[in-house]
Amino acid sequence: MFALLSLITIIKYFRSKFLTILMSILVLIMIPFTLASRKHYSIDVLTSCYIVPIMYEILWMKFPDVCTRCHMKKRYGLEFQRNPNSENSEDSFILIVGDKVYGVSIDQLPNDFREEVRPKKLNR
């Protein structure tokens, strides 16, 4: 159950397709070993394979992630902006905390700002 919960969290938050596929394969390999060790009945393992994702989604709907620009600024005083002096897309974002300015990568941006600035894929 813990491995499946970890896998769902990795799929939701991590951007790496390689890591997602690797973890999925490892969890699928772990299921027969769990059954072979005779620590759980097969019905326990199969039930957890569909109950854990359902509970994860229900809790996600009840308590959503509030990692937004507005929330971060209001609660922590963190302000994310585009860097007006940068032409490179890698370091084109800054974080302002009080009077200090830090460079921020696109992976460290709040969810709403990341989706707003991410280049749109062309439909061909």
Contacts 24+ apart (CB under 8 A), 27-35: 27/3, 30/3
Tokens of 12: 């939701």
Render each residue's pLDDT in the chain as its tens digit; 124 residues: 788 888 888 888 777 889 889 999 998 898 888 888 887 777 777 888 888 888 888 888 888 777 677 878 887 788 888 877 766 655 678 888 888 888 887 777 777 777 666 655 544 4
Integer Cα distance of 14 and 107 in angstroms: 9
The structure's pTM equals 0.55
What is the domain range of residue 17?
2-62
Closest CA to 48 of 16, 4, 98, 80: 4
| Among the listed residues 8, 9, 13, 11, the one whose alpha carbon sits nearest the alpha carbon of residue 110 | 13
Q: How many domains does the chain have?
A: 2
Comparing C-alpha atoms, which of 96, 93, 88, 99 is closest to residue 113? 93
* Domain end position, chosen among 29, 45, 62: 62
**Is residue 124 domain-resident?**
no
* Beta bridge mates, 79: 96
**CA of 89: how far to CAs of 45, 84, 105, 113, 121, in Å?**
45, 11, 9, 14, 16
Residues 56 and 15 in one domain: yes
**Whole-angstrom distance, CA of residue 67 vs CA of residue 111:** 6
